[in-house]
Chains A and B, each alone.
Chain A
Amino acid sequence: MTTMIRALLGATALTAAGFAASAQDTTLTIATVNNGDMIRMQGLADAFTEETGIALEWVTLEENVLRQRVTQDIATNGGQFDVMTIGTYEVPIWGAQDWLVSLNDLPAEYDVDDILPAIRGGLTVDGELYAAPFYGESSMVMYRTDLMEAAGLEMPDAPTWDFIKEAAAAMTDKDNEVYGICLRGKAGWGENMAFLTAMSNSYGARWFDMDWNPQFDSEAWANTLNDYLDLMNSYGPPGASGNGFNENLALFQQGKCGMWIDATVAASFVTNPNDSTVADKVGFALAPDNGLGKRGNWLWAWSLAVPAGSDNPDAAKQFIAWATSKDYTALVAENEGWANVPPGTRTSLYENPEYQEVPFAQMTLESINAADPTAPTVDEVPYTGVQFVAIPEFQSIGTAVGQTFSAALAGQMSAEDALAQAQALTEREMKRAGYIE
Chain B
Amino acid sequence: MARAVTTQRKAINTLIAWIVGLLIFFPILWIFILSFHSEGDAIKSPLEVITSTWTFESYATVQERSNYFRHFWNSVVISVGSTVLGLIIAVPSAWAMAFVPGKRTKDVLMWMLSTKMLPPVGVLLPIYLICQNLGLLDTRIALVFILMMINLPIIIWMLYTYFREIPGEILEAARMDGASLREEVIYVLLPMAVPGIASTLLLNIILAWNEAFWTLTLTAAKAAPLTAFIASYSSPEGLFYAKLSAASIMAIAPILIMGWFSQKQLVRGLTFGAVK
Is there any pair of Cβ atoms, one from A and one from B, under 8 angstroms apart in the complex? yes
Residues in B whose Cβ lies below 8 Å from that of A39: 65, 236
Residues in A whose Cβ lies below 8 Å from that of B216: 65, 69
A78 to B235, CA, bound (A): 27
Tell yes or no: A419 within 8 A of B by CB: no
A73 to B218, CA, bound (A): 10
Closest residue of A by beta carbon distance from B38: A274
Q: Which of A31, A62, A250 interacts with B234 by CB under 8 Å?
A: A62
Q: Are B221 and A265 in contact (CB under 8 A)?
A: no
A68 to B213, CA, bound (A): 12
Residues in A whose Cβ lies below 8 Å from that of B96: none
A253 to B233, CA, bound (A): 20
Interface stretch of the complex, out of A52-60, A85-93, A235-243, A363-371: A52-60
Q: Are B66 and A60 in contact (CB under 8 A)?
A: yes
Q: Are A42 and B65 in contact (CB under 8 A)?
A: yes
Residues in B whose Cβ lies below 8 Å from that of A57: 220-222
Q: Which of A65, A78, A269 interacts with B137 by CB under 8 Å?
A: A78
Closest residue of B by beta carbon distance from A63: B235
The answer to whether residues A35 and B238 also contact, given A65-B216, A78-B132, A80-B220 and a CB cut-off of 8 A, is yes
Q: Which of B132, B228, B238 interacts with A61 by CB under 8 Å?
A: B228
Q: Which of A35, A43, A276 interacts with B236 by CB under 8 Å?
A: A35
Q: Are A29 and B64 in contact (CB under 8 A)?
A: no
Chain B positions 16-64 with a Cβ under 8 Å from a chain A Cβ: 38-40, 43-44, 64
Q: Mark A234-264, 1 if CB is under 8 A from B, else 0.
A: 0000000000111001100110000000010
Q: Are A36 and B220 in contact (CB under 8 A)?
A: no
Chain B positions 215-273 with a Cβ under 8 Å from a chain A Cβ: 216-217, 220-222, 224, 228, 231-240
Q: Are A269 and B132 in contact (CB under 8 A)?
A: no
| Shortest distance between the CB of A309 and any CB in chain B (Å) | 10
Between A and B, how many residue pairs show CB distances below 8 Å? 91
How many chain B residues sit at the interface, stated as a range, is 20 to 34
Q: Are A265 and B224 in contact (CB under 8 A)?
A: no
Q: Are B233 and A34 in contact (CB under 8 A)?
A: yes
Residues in B whose Cβ lies below 8 Å from that of A34: 232-233, 236
**Chain A CB within 10 Å — which of B40, B216, B222, B224 has the most?**
B40
Q: Mark A12-37, 1 if CB is under 8 A from B, else 0.
A: 00000000000000000101011110
Closest residue of A by beta carbon distance from B230: A62
A379 to B38, CA, bound (A): 48
Q: Which of A69, A76, A78, A246 interacts with B237 by CB under 8 Å?
A: A246
Q: Which of A68, A76, A246 interacts with B240 by CB under 8 Å?
A: A246
Tell yes or no: A157 within 8 A of B by CB: no
Tell yes or no: A362 within 8 A of B by CB: no
Q: Are B217 and A69 in contact (CB under 8 A)?
A: yes
How many residues of chain A are within 8 Å of chain B by beta carbon? 40
| Shortest distance between the CB of A277 and any CB in chain B (Å) | 8
Q: Are A62 and B43 in contact (CB under 8 A)?
A: no
Q: Which of A60, A72, A246 interacts with B235 by CB under 8 Å?
A: A246
Q: Are B231 and A76 in contact (CB under 8 A)?
A: no
Tell yes or no: A81 within 8 A of B by CB: yes
| Shortest distance between the CB of A334 and any CB in chain B (Å) | 19
Tell yes or no: B128 within 8 A of A by CB: yes
Residues in B whose Cβ lies below 8 Å from that of A72: 128, 217
| Shortest distance between the CB of B41 and any CB in chain A (Å) | 10
Tell yes or no: A111 within 8 A of B by CB: no
A42 to B221, CA, bound (A): 14
| Shortest distance between the CB of B251 and any CB in chain A (Å) | 14
The answer to whether residues A275 and B217 also contact, given A57-B222, A76-B129 and a CB cut-off of 8 A, is no
**Chain A CB within 10 Å — which of B224, B234, B237 has the most?**
B237
| Shortest distance between the CB of B272 and any CB in chain A (Å) | 35
The answer to whether residues A249 and B239 also contact, given A34-B232, A62-B231, A76-B132 and a CB cut-off of 8 A, is yes
A43 to B64, CA, bound (A): 8
Q: Are A275 and B237 in contact (CB under 8 A)?
A: no
Residues in B whose Cβ lies below 8 Å from that of A81: 220
Q: Which of A58, A62, A80, A274 interacts with B138 by CB under 8 Å?
A: A80
| Shortest distance between the CB of A256 and any CB in chain B (Å) | 11
Q: Which of B39, B44, B217, B236 interacts with A62 by CB under 8 Å?
A: B236
The answer to whether residues A59 and B220 also contact, given A43-B64, A76-B128 and a CB cut-off of 8 A, is yes
Residues in A whose Cβ lies below 8 Å from that of B228: 59, 61
Beyond A61-B232, A81-B220, A246-B236, 7 additional pairs, beta carbon < 8 A: A29-B221, A35-B238, A36-B236, A59-B221, A59-B224, A245-B237, A246-B237
Ranked 8 nearest A-B pairs via Cβ = A57-B221, A60-B232, A34-B236, A80-B220, A35-B237, A34-B232, A62-B234, A275-B40
What are 10 A-B interface contacts by the 8 Å CB criterion? A34-B236, A36-B237, A43-B65, A72-B217, A246-B235, A246-B236, A250-B239, A253-B43, A266-B237, A277-B40
